[in-house]
């Protein structure tokens, strides 16, 4: 029965960070933010965003193209004159060559370039918000591991108390057995229970060790298994209006801003684009097809472009983006409602653990009185060692229940803060 209880508790076991003698939950979260590969995406994304903004900004710079052509054609323009005339038409070459440099510069495009740069900035911020949401989930996983270790360490302490108690009873019972007052079976029963407790202790130690290793892997730094983990002491914020500290709220707002810039970009489709352009060419023939020698020639001009269907669809695109903004707002309200429900549930758990903790000590004190009585009766031979072990296991279970409730209470408070989006916890 004791072993089954231990197994049910050990499932939470995990690990912890850093090489100091004492670690707090905030220390581990700091290590996660510094060393976890996912956190490094934030700086990388900032660099990517700056590059994308520069790329978008190049649309406002003069655009240059360089090209060359060499062609041969089967026929060229010929001019025929009446025979006997004094004028002879020039003869054009069938092989033609050109090397051209073209340049264009946008003069007016309704501010589309600036909007695209702002859009890249907001999109980059949104990607980092997604990373922050993923990091918060990693921290929740770390919290489970952290409290799993605390729980296992408390277990180990209680098991050690149990073994000391059994060892003391074995010493006294052995003396009684040696003098023929008690049967050897009483001693054997206690010794068997001591071996069982030692097995449980070994298993817990192994789980704690693997938990520390798991935490080391998460933070990217080796942790000494002897490092003491601090039990967080948390003061809950007053229940009231829901603070918008979760990164998801910022992500919702960011997505709306992205759509806002897309609406502005769609607005630019309603208006024409004015550009200046020019080209300089060296080759033959030029704009004068009768000049068959190699020479330079150029062209400059203005170009006004306006797409009818783009202009007609601009308003529809804006309407689409506006509807998407409303959809995001609906998602945000649904998330907020779910968040409130989760917080309410955690609050009830906290209240339940507080009530149980008030009763745990009373149960332990009563169970200890029964154990003391059974120990005395066992020494007198009026009860068996098995009956004593049953009562001893009951007080051990009561202590474990107290330990579980105490640890779970602290964990629930941390969960409440984490669910709210609070990233630092007072130790």
What residues pair up with 68 in beta bridges, in sequence order?
Answer: 99
DSSP per residue, 78-97? -----TT-S--PPPPPSEEE
For residues 364 and 111, what is the distance between their CA atoms, to the nearest angstrom? 75
Instruction: Please state, in angstroms and as integers, the Cα–Cα distance from residue 231 to each residue in 3, 13, 24, 406, 427, following that order.
Output: 25, 15, 8, 10, 7
Which residues does 82 contact at the CB level (< 8 Å), separation at least 6?
A: none
Helix (H) or strand (E) segment spanning residue 278: strand 273-284
Question: Number of H helices and number of E strands within the chain?
Answer: 8, 6
Report CA 220 to chain centroid distance, whole Å: 16
- Residues 21-63 have pLDDT tens digits of 788 888 888 888 888 888 889 999 999 999 999 999 999 999 9
For residues 17 and 331, what is the distance between their CA atoms, to the nearest angstrom? 36
| Tens digit of each residue's pLDDT, the chain (427 residues) | 344 433 343 343 333 334 447 888 888 888 888 888 888 899 999 999 999 999 999 999 999 999 999 999 998 887 776 655 566 667 788 899 999 999 999 999 889 999 999 999 999 999 999 999 999 888 888 999 999 999 999 899 999 988 998 998 888 888 888 877 788 888 899 899 999 999 999 999 999 998 899 888 888 888 888 888 888 887 777 766 677 888 999 999 999 999 999 999 999 999 999 999 999 999 998 888 888 889 999 999 999 999 999 898 999 999 999 999 999 999 999 999 999 999 999 999 999 999 999 999 999 999 999 999 988 888 888 888 888 889 889 999 999 999 999 999 999 999 998 888 876 654 4
Helix (H) or strand (E) segment spanning residue 95: strand 95-108
Residue whose tokens read 């630092």: 424
Residue whose tokens read 């231990």: 6
Q: Which of 391, 395, 387 is nearest to 363 (CA)?
A: 395
pLDDT-above-70 percentage for the chain: 91
């Amino acid at each position: 029965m004791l072993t089954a209880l231990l197994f049910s508790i050990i499932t939470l076991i995990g690990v912890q960070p850093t090489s100091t003698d004492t670690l707090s939950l905030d220390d581990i979260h700091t290590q996660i933010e510094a060393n976890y590969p996912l956190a490094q995406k934030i700086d990388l994304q900032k660099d990517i965003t700056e590059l994308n903004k520069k790329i978008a900004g190049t649309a406002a710079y003069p655009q240059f193209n360089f090209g060359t052509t060499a062609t041969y054609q089967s026929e060229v323009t010929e001019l025929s004159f009446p025979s006997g005339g004094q004028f002879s038409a020039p003869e054009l070459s069938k092989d033609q060559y050109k090397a051209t440099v073209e340049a264009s510069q946008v003069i007016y495009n309704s501010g589309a370039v600036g909007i695209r740069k702002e859009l890249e900035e907001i999109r980059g911020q949104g990607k980092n918000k997604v990373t922050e949401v993923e990091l918060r989930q990693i921290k929740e996983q770390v919290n489970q591991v952290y409290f799993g270790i605390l729980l296992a360490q408390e277990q180990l302490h209680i098991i050690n108390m149990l073994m000391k108690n059994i060892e003391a009873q074995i010493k006294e019972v052995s003396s009684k057995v040696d003098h023929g007052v008690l049967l050897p079976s009483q001693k054997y029963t206690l010794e068997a229970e001591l071996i069982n407790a030692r097995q449980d202790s070994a298993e817990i130690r192994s789980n704690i060790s693997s938990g520390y290793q798991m935490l080391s892997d998460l933070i990217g730094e080796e942790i000494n298994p002897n490092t003491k983990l601090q039990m967080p002491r948390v003061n809950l914020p007053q229940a009231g209006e829901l603070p918008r500290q979760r990164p998801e709220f910022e992500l919702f707002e960011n997505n709306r801003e992205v759509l806002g810039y897309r609406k502005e970009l769609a607005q630019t489709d309603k208006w024409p684009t004015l550009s200046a352009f020019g080209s300089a060419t060296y080759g033959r023939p030029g704009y004068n097809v009768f000049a068959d020698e190699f020479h330079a020639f150029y062209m400059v001009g203005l170009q006004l472009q306006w797409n009818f269907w783009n202009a007609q669809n601009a308003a529809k695109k804006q309407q689409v983006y506006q509807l998407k903004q409303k959809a995001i707002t609906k998602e945000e309200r649904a998330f907020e409602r779910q968040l409130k429900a989760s917080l309410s549930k955690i609050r009830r758990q906290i209240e339940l653990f507080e009530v149980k903790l008030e009763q745990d000590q009373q149960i332990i004190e009563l169970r200890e009185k029964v154990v003391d009585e059974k120990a005395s009766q066992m020494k007198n031979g009026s009860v068996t060692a098995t009956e004593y072990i049953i009562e001893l296991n009951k007080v051990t279970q009561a202590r474990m229940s107290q330990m579980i409730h105490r640890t779970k209470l602290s964990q629930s408070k941390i969960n409440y803060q984490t669910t709210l989006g609070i990233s630092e916890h007072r130790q």
